[in-house]
Structure 1
Amino acid sequence: GEAPAGALFGALADMMQRPGVLPVLTFVLIFKLGDASMGFMVKPFWVDAGFSAAEIGLVSVNIGLVLSIAGGLAGGWYADRAGIFKALWVLGLAQAVSNLAYALAAWAIPLGGVPLPEHRALIYAASALESFTGGLGTAAFLAFLMAIVRREHSAAEYALLSSVFAASRSVAGWAGGLGAQAMGYAPYFLLTFFLAFPAYLLLPWVRRMLDAQARREAGTS
């Protein structure tokens, strides 16, 4: 209806007037780019490495979901204790480092063969690390989004920021298939580690917006 559309338009107009909003929106777009770029190619890698659908479902999906939730809870606790800004870069770094575990697994495990016990240990560890640290990074990211929306139209601003984030995941999924096919899994997973770092260049603007919003909330409370 018109009311939700009007609320979204008002929230967008208000957001675009904020100082430093474009670097912050770019940060929202790319903070989880490395994580998403790898995440879309994890299942194809498991399949190509010879693991069964049942094994993928148990380890990568079911156990992965539990570890993601655990990571989310741990990340929320850390963001609460350390502050959102510190949580963003510390947990974002943990999220990026986990991509190296998959790069190592892709380098060590031959494609198209029968997985050996050491291959299983390696890919299980990489999967566990990726799921847990992905939860850590997501917790910090969602805490950040909630901290920068303005109280008077928080739902509309949160929806807009979530849409920006979703756009990056769509691009990452499309580019991931092309990248892994062109480079091979191990070099591609290594590349996704480095994709995490452009967002760090935007942290000064992120800090300024967090500080400005905290001052605004303190002034209106």
Structure 2
Amino acid sequence: MDRAQQRSPWGWVPTLYFNQGIPYFAVMALTTAMYKDLGISNADMAYYTAWLYLPWVIKPLWSPLIEMFGTKRAWTTILQMVLGVSLASVAFTLPLSNFFQLSLGVMWLMAFSSATHDIAADGYYMLALRQKQQAEFVGVRSTFYRAATVACQGGVLFLAGNVIKHTGNPQMAWSVAFAVLGAVFLALALYHLFALPKPAEDARAVRSSAPMKEFFATFAAFFRKDGIIVILLFLLLFRLGESQLLKMVVPFLKDPLANGGLGLSTEAVGIAYGTVGIIGLILGGLAGGWLIARFGLKRCLWPFAIAIHIPDLIFVYLSQAQPQNFAWISACLAVEQFGYGLGFTSFMMYMIMVSQGEHKTAHYSICTGFMALGMMIPQMASGKLQELLGYQHFFIFACTATIPAFIMTALIKIDPDFGRE
């Protein structure tokens, strides 16, 4: 029995995916709240932060290099060190007069490092665990990946909000928040140097006499998969509505009532959306992983597709009613996030299914690249659309944009036994 099978996945899967989530949510979620506090408009914030998705879109271009050079474990540990330094570096850019340009520059470095880390870590996960374990731990990995959201959108937002409340200085507050986040990340990166097992399959690939030919053959093998057009359309369209909604949630929660928002403070957003809401998401992720392992992906996909999209109507209600009961707002966000947790777990398991076979690491990264493209393009326009339509009509539009997801769910093919114990 190799070392990867001797060491319990509970000793490294949770922390690996927690660390995978932190830089992603720092780039994609914390920037939204941070730039809102620092006075950047919704249109500029959405447009420029949506571009940060680009590394996840184009990461398949260099994903074969991860298989050709070095081990997945080595890539994972080295990149975690780079990411920890990048997170801490954000803190030094915010007090400067040109903080927007400088912080975005550091975020670009973080985004490219994080996207490359995703390739290595996801490939490592598939090499270190048997298929049954992959299905059993897909909910765990999703849960702890989302627990990073609690750390970022809950803990970091709460910390920044408290510092703002006591000092009135958003720049200092967010500098403190990113310094703390970088320190936590680096501590876990050091832990992984010793905790990650060394599976026998995770070995340097045998050097090909024609590496470029092998590079392009990896891509060609993906695009020769049966039903590739439907697969790509599913990856691009499944999150079309949710991607637009996601970018505007924090601005909606923070904007004053007169502007159509709910008027919550940064600290309150950290509690309601970043903590209570994410607890709902974590429970949804755990339930989703258990149900897929119990019944298989095919039987769960339609119920989970409904679960991720129908609760988006909650934001239509919140924008129309503008309730001021904090507990009620938090409960609404928890319900919406629980459905998102169920749906995203099935989406992740579908990408694992598509990537099975030779070059699974590179093929999984290609899947996530198309998923990221399906997030990036709609989000670039979401801020401008919100400013044109107002929150009420914007959320109605986002809900109608979920219709293509149901169409593609009806068209894809699923192995009846995939994911089932």
The TM-score normalised by the length of structure 2 is: 0.45
Give the letter for the 1:194 counterpart.
T
C-alpha distance after superposition, 1:163-202 (max 9, x if no partner): 1111111123212212221212122212222222212222
Conserved 8 A contact 1:38-1:192:
yes
- Number of paired residues? 205
SS of the residue 1:211 aligns to: coil
Aligned with residue 108 of structure 1, among 303, 309, 321: 321
In structure 1, how many angstroms separate the alpha carbons of the residues matched to 2:393 and 2:270? 25
User: Pairwise mapping of residues 1-221 of structure 1 onto structure 2 (< 5 A)?
Assistant: 1=65, 3=68, 9-48=216-255, 49-109=262-322, 116-117=324-325, 120-207=326-413, 210-211=414-415
Give the letter for the 1:129 counterpart.
V
Give the letter for the 1:138 counterpart.
F
C-alpha distance after superposition, 1:135-170 (max 9, x if no partner): 111101011111121222111100110011111111
In structure 1, how many angstroms separate the alpha carbons of the residues matched to 2:217 and 2:314? 44
In structure 1, how many angstroms separate the alpha carbons of the residues matched to 2:274 and 2:385? 23
Give the letter for the 2:318 counterpart.
A
Query: In angstroms, what is the RMSD of aligned CA positions?
Result: 2.3
Higher mean C-alpha deviation, range 5-14 or range 189-198: 5-14
Q: CA deviation at 1:70?
A: 1.4
Conserved 8 A contact 2:276-2:331:
no
In structure 2, how many angstroms separate the alpha carbons of the residues matched to 1:212 and 1:149? 16
Alignment gaps of 5+ in structure 2 = 1-64, 70-210, 256-261
Q: 1:24 to 1:212 in 2, by over 3 A?
A: farther
Identity of aligned residues (%): 28
C-alpha distance after superposition, 1:67-88 (max 9, x if no partner): 2221111111222233213322
Higher mean C-alpha deviation, range 3-12 or range 146-155: 3-12
Q: 1:51 to 1:29 in 2, by over 3 A?
A: same
In structure 2, how many angstroms separate the alpha carbons of the residues matched to 1:173 and 1:34? 10
Give the letter for the 1:169 counterpart.
M
The TM-score normalised by the length of structure 1 is: 0.83
Q: CA deviation at 1:121?
A: 4.2
SS of the residue 1:29 aligns to: helix
Q: 1:147 to 1:36 in 2, by over 3 A?
A: same
Conserved 8 A contact 1:8-1:156:
no
Q: CA deviation at 1:108?
A: 0.6
Give the letter for the 1:174 counterpart.
M
C-alpha distance after superposition, 1:44-75 (max 9, x if no partner): 10111211111001111122332222111111
In structure 2, how many angstroms separate the alpha carbons of the residues matched to 1:135 and 1:42? 16
Q: 1:70 to 1:205 in 2, by over 3 A?
A: same
| Higher-Rg member (1/2) | 2
Alignment gaps of 5+ in structure 1 = 110-114, 215-221
> Larger RCO: Structure 1 or Structure 2 (Cα < 8 Å, ≥ 6 residues apart)?
1
SS of the residue 1:184 aligns to: helix
SS of the residue 2:343 aligns to: helix
SS of the residue 2:346 aligns to: helix
Give the letter for the 1:42 counterpart.
V
Q: CA deviation at 1:123?
A: 2.4
In structure 1, how many angstroms separate the alpha carbons of the residues matched to 2:341 and 2:236? 18
Following TM superposition, where does structure 1 have runs of at least 4 consecutive aligned residues deviating by more than 4 angstroms?
A: 4-8
Q: Which residue of 1 aligns with 2:56?
A: none
More helix as a share of residues: 1
Q: 1:103 to 1:177 in 2, by over 3 A?
A: same
In structure 2, how many angstroms separate the alpha carbons of the residues matched to 1:155 and 1:194? 34
